[in-house]
């Protein structure tokens, strides 16, 4: 057979690799900055773009999509060519993919800091960027499948399956969760409302973890671990089971983020059951990784690449064991809304994703520059800094989460809540300080790596096009007997469709019933659409990222009802595009905030939270007091809401601003009574209007019922 000579494209791998290192540092710096704001609120600089509510989405997006995203593409572009024995399908598409993705990251960073956000976690980017992501993702897909189709290797190695499943599922998740109706160039409302929005969002959010932070990295593990250890994976059979079981089960587990909320009970149970089942494939994968090193542990002592991988895979095992445990309702009742969740995701983020990325970079750079790593010692130091960093990060937060939850739930013998919310926060400040020390160590390690890689690059010579040889695939070749699966794994398109069916089933079963909820919910008669001013205020609430610290979901627990009021009902959220239930309570729940304090309290509190609640760690929102409210958008917003089914009267968009000013004047008048002079057309007035509205519909209903009795 004629052997063909061809060249692997290393330039594109290098570009993505550089981007990985840069965004690792950027993302971690943003993380460190928000971590410091927990105990030094002044670190928000009293400047809107650097407050927690805007910087935290920047941190999460930078880590997930910029750091891990670029890491995935680095690994895929390197391993896919070699596993397929072919150069990438099109160099042009590779570069469109690279620059497109970096442009999206830049646009994301700017818009998030300016406050353009959809208010849905890990999907905060506004609609024009959503469209750009779709386009770039399709470009990546064409390049991926084009390469697979022109491969010279008969079989599709298991890593490629993970890449295919990643591509198809992320496409599905992104499109379904991003349905939104544009109001203006950088503002949109989620197509879904309340319970449905929450379910779609966490179906997305959970599976973004699954198919962006897990499956592609597992693909990298199945390629780079055998490479670094120079031996095949422990059990290839297990890897096949691992793959199908993982993608089949993962897609169902989303609702475990919504336990004890207003989400229907059956959906919560579904989430729990599938989360428990997930332990099996996850641990199958972890053991497969660790057993690959059986009898080679002496190499682990020598080789930094393997060291990082061992800790990464161990962290994967820990996180995927903890995840199902956290999905048990009894555990979730304690862990949810606390720092426990933050600790959990950072075991995954710092341990699994970060360490796999570092391992891959330490492996790739010497290979592509045909040299040895500049300093093994520095790499080992990085390893220890990182490992100690993870421990110092996670342990205090586990402690903080558990302590705070127990304090929330404590009652005095007389039956009163034992602690003010603020006391439970100030109590765990030392944990927050320790956490940021852990983060600093981890970041220092990454800086060390950048230096080490830079020195390695300086001493080596880059191979832009790596020569390789292989025989082409013969089309005529037909074995006598073929098992269906072997047939399948040679057919990438069939594989794609099958993966889509597998993940589609879970999605449909989970989502379809809730889409019918709307027609089936006994709506609460007293729940009315927001007034134009409240709607504007709500958009400010979303813009400032209030949901990153405040939930709007009172769970049916004794302590929560005692602290916040009547627990939340599904029917209360039917006009909430997007829902703002939140996932973390750094501050108290706001679901029944309306009417709790006078308008002037909110005014002073926004100006300086510590003047009203000494010891509070909330940032100051001074600009809200001066910013003019943009009423030119009111009409478009009312029209968009009407399109989404919010029952405003016909033609209301044209007169909405009259009502808006009336309500604003009355709030300004209220404030004046408390000796606060303010114009009526500033943002704080709209925000106060919204805050005073939250959760009130049901309160008035109860009052009416009481008086009727």
Partner 1 sequence: MKFIHYIEKISGVDVYGLVSLLIFVVFFSVMLTWVIRADKKKIKEMSEIPLH
Q: Which residues bind partner 1 (CB under 8 A)?
A: 79, 82-83, 153, 155, 157-159, 222-223, 226-227, 230-233, 236-237, 240-241, 244-245, 248, 262, 264-266, 483-486, 501-502, 505, 508-509, 512-513, 516-517, 520-522, 524, 569-571
Q: Which is nearer to partner 1, 406 or 509 (CB)?
A: 509
- CA dihedral defined by 331, 336, 339, 340, rounded to 10 degrees? 20
Structure token pair of residue 194: 């309340």
Q: Which is nearer to partner 1, 251 or 310 (CB)?
A: 251
Host H or E run for residue 220: helix 215-229
Closest CA to 485 of 189, 124, 241, 231: 241
CB of 230 to partner 1, least distance (A): 7
Q: Which is nearer to partner 1, 13 or 629 (CB)?
A: 13
Give dist(CA 294, CA 246) in Å, integer: 24
CB of 95 to partner 1, least distance (A): 26
Host H or E run for residue 570: none
CB of 298 to partner 1, least distance (A): 19
CB of 322 to partner 1, least distance (A): 26
Structure token pair of residue 175: 């499109």
Q: Which is nearer to partner 1, 82 or 418 (CB)?
A: 82
Structure token pair of residue 541: 């609430």
Q: Which residues are paired to 503 by β-bridges?
A: none
Structure token pair of residue 200: 């779609």
Question: What distances in angstroms separate CA 143 from CA 81, 84, 95, 391, 588, one per listed residue?
Answer: 11, 13, 10, 40, 48
CB of 287 to partner 1, least distance (A): 16
Contact yes or no for 501/33 (Cβ under 8 A):
no
Q: Which is nearer to partner 1, 410 or 523 (CB)?
A: 523
Closest CA to 363 of 159, 227, 460: 227
Contact yes or no for 239/222 (Cβ under 8 A):
yes
Q: Which is nearer to partner 1, 387 or 514 (CB)?
A: 514
Q: Which is nearer to partner 1, 142 or 240 (CB)?
A: 240
Give dist(CA 325, CA 336) in Å, integer: 12
CB of 84 to partner 1, least distance (A): 10
CB of 562 to partner 1, least distance (A): 23
Burial of 125 per CB tally in 10 Å (0-12, 13-18, 19+): buried
CB of 261 to partner 1, least distance (A): 11
Q: Which is nearer to partner 1, 410 or 494 (CB)?
A: 494
Q: Which is nearer to partner 1, 157 or 419 (CB)?
A: 157
Beta strands in 133-195 (DSSP E): 180-184, 187-190
The 8-class DSSP code of residue 337 comes to B
CB of 385 to partner 1, least distance (A): 30
CB of 189 to partner 1, least distance (A): 24
Q: Which is nearer to partner 1, 528 or 642 (CB)?
A: 528
CB of 519 to partner 1, least distance (A): 8
**Residue located via tokens 């950072």:** 346
Q: Which is nearer to partner 1, 254 or 571 (CB)?
A: 571
Give dist(CA 245, CA 232) in Å, integer: 21
- Kindly report the three-state secondary structure assignment for every residue of 296-316: CHHHHHHCHHHHHHHHHHHHH
Give dist(CA 358, CA 561) in Å, integer: 46
Give the chain's radius of gyration (CA, Å).
27
């Amino acid at each position: 057979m004629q052997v063909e000579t061809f060249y692997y494209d290393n330039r594109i791998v290098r570009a993505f690799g550089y981007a990985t290192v840069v965004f690792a540092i950027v993302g971690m710096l943003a993380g460190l900055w928000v971590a410091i704001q927990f105990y030094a609120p002044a670190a928000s600089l009293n400047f809107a773009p650097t407050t927690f509510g805007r910087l935290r989405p920047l941190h999460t997006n930078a880590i997930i999509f910029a750091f891990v995203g670029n890491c995935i593409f680095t690994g895929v572009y390197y391993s896919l060519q070699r596993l397929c024995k072919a150069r990438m399908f099109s160099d042009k598409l590779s570069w469109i993919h690279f620059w497109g993705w970096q442009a999206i990251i830049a646009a994301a960073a700017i818009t998030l800091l300016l406050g353009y956000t959809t208010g849905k976690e890990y999907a905060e980017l506004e609609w024009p960027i959503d469209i750009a992501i779709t386009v770039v993702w399709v470009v990546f897909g064409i390049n991926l499948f084009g390469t697979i189709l022109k491969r010279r290797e008969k079989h599709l190695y298991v890593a490629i399956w993970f890449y295919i499943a990643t591509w198809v599922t992320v496409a599905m998740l992104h499109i379904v969760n991003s349905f939104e109706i544009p109001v203006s160039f950088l503002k949109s409302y989620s197509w879904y409302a309340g319970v449905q929005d929450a379910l779609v969002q966490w179906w997305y959010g959970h599976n973004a973890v699954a198919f962006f932070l897990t499956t592609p990295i597992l693909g990298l593990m199945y390629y780079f671990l055998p490479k670094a250890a120079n031996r095949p994976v422990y059990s290839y059979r297990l890897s096949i089971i691992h793959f199908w079981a993982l993608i089949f089960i993962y897609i169902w587990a989303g609702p475990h983020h919504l336990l004890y909320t207003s989400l229907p009970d059956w959906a919560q149970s579904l989430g729990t059951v599938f989360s428990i089942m997930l332990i099996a494939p996850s641990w199958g994968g972890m053991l497969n990784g660790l057993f690959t090193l059986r009898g080679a542990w002496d190499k682990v002592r020598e080789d930094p690449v393997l060291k990082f991988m061992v800790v990464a895979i161990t962290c994967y095992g820990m996180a995927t064991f903890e995840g199902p445990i956290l999905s048990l309702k009894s555990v979730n009742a304690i862990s949810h809304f606390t720092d426990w969740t933050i600790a959990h995701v950072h075991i995954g983020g710092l341990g699994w994703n970060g360490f796999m990325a570092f391992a891959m970079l330490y492996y790739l750079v010497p290979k592509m520059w045909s040299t040895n790593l500049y300093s093994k010692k520095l790499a080992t130091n990085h390893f220890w800094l990182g490992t100690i960093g993870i421990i110092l990060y996670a342990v205090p937060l586990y402690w903080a989460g558990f302590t705070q939850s127990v304090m929330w739930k404590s009652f005095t013998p007389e039956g009163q809540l034992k602690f003010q919310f603020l006391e439970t926060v100030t109590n765990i400040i030392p944990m927050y300080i320790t956490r940021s020390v852990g983060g600093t160590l981890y970041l220092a390690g990454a800086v060390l790596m950048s230096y080490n890689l830079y020195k390695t690059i300086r001493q080596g010579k880059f191979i832009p096009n790596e020569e390789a040889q292989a025989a082409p695939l013969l089309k005529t070749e037909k074995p006598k007997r073929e098992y269906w699966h072997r047939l399948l794994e040679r057919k990438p398109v069939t594989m794609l469709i099958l993966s889509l069916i597998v993940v589609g089933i879970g999605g449909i079963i989970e989502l379809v019933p809730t889409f019918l909820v709307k027609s089936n919910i006994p709506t609460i008669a007293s729940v009315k659409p927001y007034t134009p001013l409240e709607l504007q205020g709500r958009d400010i609430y979303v813009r400032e990222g209030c949901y990153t610290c405040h939930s709007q979901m009172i769970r049916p627990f004794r302590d929560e009802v005692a602290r916040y009021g009547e627990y939340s009902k599904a029917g209360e959220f039917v006009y909430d595009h997007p829902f703002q239930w939140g996932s973390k309570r750094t501050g108290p729940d706001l679901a029944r905030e309306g009417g709790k304090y006078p308008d002037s309290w909110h005014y002073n509190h926004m100006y300086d939270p510590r003047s009203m609640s000494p010891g509070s760690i909330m940032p100051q929102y001074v600009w809200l007091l001066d910013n003019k409210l943009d009423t030119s958008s009111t009409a478009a917003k009312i029209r968009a809401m009407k399109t989404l089914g919010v029952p405003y009267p016909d033609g209301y968009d044209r007169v909405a601003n009259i009502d808006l000013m009336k309500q604003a004047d009355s709030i300004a008048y209220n404030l004046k009574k408390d000796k606060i002079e303010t114009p009526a057309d500033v943002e704080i007035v709209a925000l106060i209007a919204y805050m005073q509205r939250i959760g009130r519909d049901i309160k008035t209903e109860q009052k009416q019922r009481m008086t009727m009795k």
